[in-house]
Structure 1
Amino acid sequence: MIMKKLTLIVSVTLGFCAWPLWAGELIGPGVISTGLQETSVAMSADGNTLFFMRSDLGETDDTVMVAHRRGRIWSAPDVAPFSGQWHDSEPTLSPDGKRLYFVSNRPAHAGAAPITASMAGHDFAGTNLWYVQAKAGGGWDAPVHVDGALNDGAMIYNPSIAANGNIYFSAHRTDSGKAYQIYVARRTGDGYATPEQLPLGDVSNNRMDPAIDPAERFIVYAGNEGDSLGRADLYIAFHQADGSWGKPEHLGGEVNSKALENAPSLGRHFGELYLSSDRAAEITFPKKQDTAPSLQARLSGPLNGSRNLWRFDIADVLRAHGVDH
């Protein structure tokens, strides 16, 4: 079923042919994007390996998954070799592909208790930042805890890595206000400096899930700057010549909808933007009479209101701000 006001390209492939500006492609319908929750694309440079997070609808059981493209078809995803025991989510690859970062409630030290967090009187699985290093012959080394002040507070989400090693992330920290804000931990000679909050505006506005351009020319993130169409939309801000960040701009076209859009990440091709959205197929009444199998297929399919993985093209927006490669 075609969604209202959305040019939908449903495909189990992930080729890099041109598609219309703002036309969304649902990634791997029924294989990668399913009736469960899928977020957080981390794509290899050759476009043939995809890491992402899959969860139950309540997002209490998060696991990092990996799928491989063979020819034009995505394989059924497997649990990533470093995941499957803890509350692991939000994978992201460093620009050189040598490290895969993710967040987890696994204890920072062997034998310790799982990491927990508390907010507004509620306790839940906390998160610290970890990474796995790529092995020379393929595969990944054991997970390594990222030490430093960036893990203070046990609520770090959606890391994104610049080419110089700076780590951008969202978190709830002492200076975050009531919601979440975006921070950068700058790479130093012996680790990471104390995180700095990005000055994107009023801290009463919720900001999460940064996707940093490897050269730090712009950042895409999820939040609500007062003009969100749904619970959260995607915004873009550009680094100015004086080192400041420009006013966040609401991404237009069909990137945002009345549904939830979050967890953006940048692809390896210019203008490529991946995101998670719980936009659903439009149902009009009277509908064609369902059978039990047709009802089950639709209600358990990827466009049932669960979060799925999408791809869009924002090349024109980048070029309009002087970013052309």
Structure 2
Amino acid sequence: MSARKLIALAACVAAVSALPWMVRAAPAAALLGPGVISTGLQETTAAFAPDGDTVYFLRSDLSEKDDTIVYAQRRDGRWSTPQVATFSGRWHDSEPTFSPDGRRLYFVSNRPLRPGGAPLVAEVAGHRFAGTNLWYVERQADGRWSAPVHVEGALNDGAQIYNPSVAANGDIYFSAHRVDSGKAYQIYVARRTAHGYAAPERVALGDLAHNRMDPAIDPRQRFLLFAGDEGDALGRADIYIAFRQPDGRWGRPEHLGGEVNSEALENAPTLGRRFGELYVSSNRQPAVAFPKPRDDARSLQQRLSGPLNGSRNLWRVDIAGVLRAHGIAP
């Protein structure tokens, strides 16, 4: 979620009325790869390969003007130093996500649609910024990634597509501001057909006054996670879950409790490879009590440049109990 989207989110927050029932999640949040993956920079959008030991994610500066997709591998329980993905490093690339079978890695980018062309630019209310279209790379027989492939279809209209998430049948969920979004961002689905992708359909989740972004779809489309504020968020944005109803419609979004959300910003939820494993981006940090133990130059530098300095990091939480309570099994 960019700074521009955060401004839009803040402008669209509705007044809090009666708080709905809060879904309870297991109270265990763990920082992913502290000091290696989660650092004093911005890290969001964890995408795990099928082996569970390779993770692609977004790393950027604090203003998110320089987004790059990097990856790390876990060996003997330790994460390697992140490296820039072979297909990234030149353009404004962000928000990676694997297809459930791991054969494709989707991402959004401002790269030109044709070699030698100009990078994509989007404009809102006179403000110009890096545009985004959906691309993917495909795993080759030798294990390397293919050259990036542009996804054709109406889902890329407007150069503003964010946080793709792919179901097992190929349907792609994403967030965007389109003609039927109202004043906020909404979640859409582009259904896979024999002839490519159908025109996006807005996912009906309630009042269009609420921003809804960063979808994470269950591969079997039984539930949908997203970031936003349904009127009861603890911070600027929290993580919500909606369950598919017997009639095929989506139920009312429910606020996730436990340690999924905090008074800080939570966004970019992604599902891990284990049942109930959820990764979220958050800029939560410990409270500072005064008087504090006196810092020297070394301790001050170490603390202020570390993962919990207010930058966004990747956190692992568990929602298996929530899923089971709603009849969802592995």
Superposition TM-score tier, normalisation by shorter sequence: over 0.9
Answering whether residue 69 of structure 2 is matched by residue 64 of structure 1, we say: yes
SS, match of residue 222 in structure 1:
strand
Partner of 1:322: 327
How large is the RMSD of aligned CA atoms in angstroms?
0.9
Structure 2 partner of 1:283: 288
User: Can you list the C-alpha shifts for 1:23-77, whole angstroms capped at 9, x where unaligned?
Assistant: 1010010100000000000001111111000000000000000101111110000
Matched position secondary structure for 2:207: coil
Task: Please give the alpha-carbon distance, in whole angstroms, between the structure 2 residues aligned to 1:123 and 1:176.
Answer: 20
Q: Which residue of 1 aligns with 2:220?
A: 215
Q: Distance in 1 between matches of 2:37 and 2:224?
A: 26
User: In structure 2, the residue corresponding to 1:22 is in which secondary structure?
Assistant: strand
Secondary structure of the structure 1 residue equivalent to 2:323: helix
After superposition, give the CA deviation of every residue in 1:212-263 in whole Å (9 maximum; x if it has no partner): 0000000000001011110000000001110100000000111100100000
Contact kept in structure 2, 1:22 and 1:314, CA below 8 Å: no
2:162 — aligned with what? 157
Structure-1 separation of matches of 2:172 and 2:227:
17
Structure 2 equivalent of residue 52 of structure 1? 57
Partner of 1:34: 39
CA displacement at 1:121 relative to structure 2 = 2.4
In the alignment, the residues of structure 2 paired with residue 119 and residue 306 of structure 1 have an alpha-carbon distance, to the nearest angstrom, of: 26
Residue of structure 2 in register with 1:203 after alignment: 208
Aligned equivalents of 1:49, 1:202: Cα separation in 2: 38
Structure-1 separation of matches of 2:118 and 2:184: 26
Secondary structure of 2:184's aligned partner = coil
Task: For residue 225 of structure 2, give the secondary structure of its aligned residue in structure 1.
Answer: strand
**Residues 1:119 and 2:114 are matched in the alignment:** no
Code of the residue aligned with 2:107 in structure 1: it is: F
Q: Secondary structure at the match of 2:322?
A: helix
Query: 1:78 Cα shift?
Result: 0.3
Out of 297, 301, 304, the residue aligned to residue 299 of structure 1 is 304
- How do 1:1-325 and structure 2 match up within 5 A? 21-325=26-330
Which structure 2 segments of 5+ residues have no match?
1-24
Letter in 2 for 1:91: P
Matches of 2:184 and 2:90, distance apart in 1: 29
Distance in 2, Cα, partners of 1:272 & 1:70:
20
Structure scoring higher RCO (CA < 8 A, sep ≥ 6) equals 2
Aligned length: 306
The list of structure 1 runs, each at least 4 consecutive aligned residues, that deviate by more than 3 angstroms after superposition, is none
Secondary structure, aligned partner of 1:90? strand
Residue type matched to 2:26 in 1?
A: L
CA shift for structure 1 position 119: 1.5
Would the aligned equivalents of 1:229 and 1:256 in 2 still touch at CA under 8 Å?
Answer: yes
- Unaligned 5+ segments in structure 1 are 1-19
The answer (yes or no) to whether the contact 1:148–1:191 under 8 Å persists in 2 is: yes
User: Separation in 2 of the partners of 1:324 and 1:228?
Assistant: 27
Deviations 1:194-224 (A, max 9, x none): 0000000111100000000000000000001
State the identity %.
70
Any idea what the Cα deviations from partners look like across 1:142-195, whole Å, max 9, x if unmatched?
Answer: 000001000001110000000000000001111111121000000000110000
Equivalent position SS for 2:56: strand
The separation in 1 between residues aligned to 2:75 and 2:111, in whole angstroms, is 33
What secondary structure is seen at the aligned counterpart in 1 of 2:134? strand
Deviation of the 1:111 alpha carbon? 2.0
